[in-house]
A and B are shown apart, each in its own frame.
Chain A
Amino acid sequence: AQKVTQAQTEISVVEKEDVTLDCVYETRDTTYYLFWYKQPPSGELVFLIRRNSFDEQNEISGRYSWNFQKSTSSFNFTITASQVVDSAVYFCALSEGGSARQLTFGSGTQLTVLP
């Protein structure tokens, strides 16, 4: 069975600090997909990134970067120069490569960026 672990329940940083959110996953599939979603205080779930298991390239999008390491089953998310608007709950999720693609979510990390 698949599992996603986000060990950091809450993180608090001061604006402009860098912060890394950890995600560790478990799956028996060789083909799988990893995701990060953001849930701001308004409650919606915003898609941030998808990574395929066969593509271990790291990705950078503006202040966001993601580090995918198959060897440690980790898919960590770094926000550089954090801003107050980054305050949200961040979820890591996994789907396996079969015909159904339901997401298994981690428990989320509440990030608070203080001014």
Chain B
Amino acid sequence: AQSVTQLGSHVSVSEGALVLLRCNYSSSVPPYLFWYVQYPNQGLQLLLKYTSAATLVKGINGFEAEFKKSETSFHLTKPSAHMSDAAEYFCAVSDSNYQLIWGAGTKLIIKP
């Protein structure tokens, strides 16, 4: 069965610092991987997705993620954090039944 692990329920960075949110997956088939962001009291918005094309995927709001098969990872990064990036971030893998299997989420806290 596929699963997703997000390291760290909370990550705190200073404004302007590098953002790194970790996601590891387990999958017996080539995975399709997604990062979503959720702002308070809102639904989820797609940041980016990997669908077996380029391993470095660029998303919205300056985020990008790199698919590393050997490490079964799909970590999300942004070079310089902004206060508006404060939100909860979810990594997900799509299984063969079209379900999204979700990680537990990581709350990103931006310190001024």
Chains A and B belong together in one complex: no
